[in-house]
Amino acid sequence: MRQPPEDLAPGVAFSGGNTLRLLRGGAELFPAMHGAIARAQQEVWLATYIFHDDEASHAMALALAEAGARGVKVCVVVDGFGSKDTLAVLQQWLVAPAVGLAVFRPVGNWWSLLQPGQLRRLHQKLCVVDGEVGFVGGINIIDDCRDLRHGALDSPRLDFAVELRGPLVAELAHTVRAMWTRASLGNDWRDEVVALARSAEPLARARRMLRRMRLLRRPALQAVALQPVQAAFLVRDNIRQRRAIERWYVQAIRRAQQRVDLVTPYFYPGRAFRRALCGAARRGVQVRLLLQGKPDYRFAAMAAQVLYAELLADGVQIFEYTAAFLHAKVAVVDGQWATVGSSNIDPLSLLLNLEANVVVNDAGFAADLSQRFEEALAGSRQVVAPDVGDSPVAFLRRGFVATVARWFLRMAGITGRY
């Protein structure tokens, strides 16, 4: 599969010389992170939506605190809404100066969420240690068998992350540092402005600060071998990479010749994405969607279900995962192109939240992810026909979901067609 043209996402390109390891759930991710943090000599950067207060989360906090106590620079940034209920505990676990804890857009009260900026959350899950090893995916710092809404779970949720080594780690590191800078400025921006004004070179200092806040920086143009593994790091932000993840997804689906396998818990794509899926299915590509069969949010499940009739009519196969809660956001195209990350296929992820995905162009990695997909299918049921089909009820449900989505996006400052 050819590299996407640069205009899909400015500053994004495949790089070679990377090694990647697919990790399933916190059961595989957390031990890998613990090992890397225990070996850290210089710095640890971590960004996450949820940092919970259960046993697994406490163990991670202890690992970070121990690294900070032995002189490693440790910086953690959490989302102010996703980690709202545990901030008090985190401030006890992650104590300065051993660990620097920053909160991205704190939520003081419920009505503060009505402010447009507060609807754009930090949804990335990133960790970089010493600039040598990075972790990216969809897994929050919370036990696999615990859910914020449902408490203890009978089975671990399905989720994935990637351990990454190689040139691409530098881009992960820059992004998580940028998130730290943005969150830190949110607390003391007045002091920063005063310091800039008093600086001997205020313009140069302002430019340096803005560079630190950019989630991606353009890689240097140089000849780089694209072996053994080609990989690219994508972010979705509200500056230069507004629709980067969506565009790479859509292009991969449009170029598919044999198979598209996509897993996401929250599925309500815009027109371009739906047309790409349906168009692929109509031209004979096997398109399989694995969506949640155990809904954690009723409206999110309804949003996906109102699209079933359209997708099934064009030959898209839909499966609902019932073995446990589904939280994975992954895809494989033609056994070669694959992605793992934090981005769902819904308006929140594609248009509002700060997201991060790694895209891999490698048959071996894609085969590993495809095998995990097939295993997950064994714990799912296939949707043969929508519950309400083309009935008036279906029409009303679809209109209701579209109206709510449009209202929410406009409240967040997003206009135009989705």
Q: Which residues are designated catalytic?
A: 123, 125, 130, 327, 329, 334
Q: How far apart are CA 85 and CA 149, in angstroms?
A: 12
Question: What Cα–Cα distance (Å) separates residue 189 from each residue in 16, 29, 196, 239, 258?
Answer: 38, 35, 10, 19, 51
Written as six digits, the tokens of 153 are 């779970």
Q: How far apart are CA 393 and CA 397, in angstroms?
A: 6
Q: How far apart are CA 186 and CA 361, in angstroms?
A: 37
Q: Which residues pair with 15 in a beta bridge?
A: 231
Q: How far apart are CA 316 and CA 306, in angstroms?
A: 14
Q: How far apart are CA 376 and CA 281, in angstroms?
A: 21
Q: Are 358 and 231 in contact (CB under 8 A)?
A: yes
Q: Are 285 and 256 in contact (CB under 8 A)?
A: yes
Q: How far apart are CA 355 and CA 263, in angstroms?
A: 16
Written as six digits, the tokens of 320 are 């609902």
Q: How far apart are CA 66 and CA 149, in angstroms?
A: 31
Sign of CA dihedral 402, 298, 338, 174: positive
